[in-house]
Amino acid sequence: MFSFKISVFELLTKNVIEIVTDSVRLLPKSCLQTKRRGNITLINFDQVHLQLEAVLLDHKLPPPSLEATAKDLGYYRETLYRNFKDLCRAISAKYGQYERVRYLNSVNKCCEEVRQIVLQLHEQGIYPSEARVSQYLAKPGHLRYRKVRAVLQEARKTLS
C-alpha cells in the first residue's frame, strides 16, 4: 500500500494531480488490514438437524450446553440458533434444567451440613455464629443463599 503526499483538498479539487516519485512512500504494515473473515462453511441442514436431535435425545449427564454442542459440531452457536431455533432452545432448556437441579442439590446438601455444624458447635459450648459456621463449611460461599441462612437461624432457634 502506498501513500502520496497530497492533501484531500488537492485530491478533490484539481483535475490533474502531479505525483513526484520522491513523494511516494510505503505505508507501514501496522496500517494494513491483516484480519481476514472466517471461512464460509456450508451447512448440511439435514445432517445437523439429526445431530442436534441426537444430542437432545441423549441421556448422558451432564447434558452438553448449546455452546459445547456447537463446538462439537464445528459451528458457531449463533449459526445453529439462527437455523435451528427450536432444537437449540430445547438443548438450552435441558441444560438449564440440569443446572437448576444441581444447584438445588448443592444448596440442600449445604443446609444439612449447616444443621450438623450448629449441633456440633452447640455440644462444644460454642455459639454457632455465621462466621464460626462458615469456617467449618465445605463451601462457605453458600451462606449467601437465603435458604441456607434461614436454616442457620432455624437451627439456632431449636437449640434455645
Per-residue model confidence as pLDDT tens for the chain (160 residues): 445 666 777 767 776 666 655 555 555 666 556 666 666 667 788 888 999 999 999 888 899 999 999 999 888 889 889 888 999 999 999 999 999 999 999 999 999 999 999 999 999 998 988 888 888 998 888 888 999 999 999 998 888 6
Whole-model pTM: value is: 0.62
Domain membership flag for residue 35? no
d(CA 4, CA 63): 59
82 and 26 inside one domain: no
Residues 15, 56: one domain?
no
Domain-located, residue 40: no
Say whether both 117 and 74 belong to one domain.
yes
Assigned C-alpha cell, 110: 449445604
Distance separating alpha carbons of residues 57 and 55, to the nearest angstrom: 6
Range of the domain at 51: 45-159
Q: Give the whole-angstrom CA distance, residue 148 versus residue 137.
A: 11
Answer yes or no: do 67 and 116 share one domain.
yes
| Residues 54, 22 share a domain | no
> Are 71 and 12 part of one and the same domain?
no
On whether residue 38 sits in a domain, the answer given is: no
Within a domain: residue 97?
A: yes
Total domains, the chain: 2
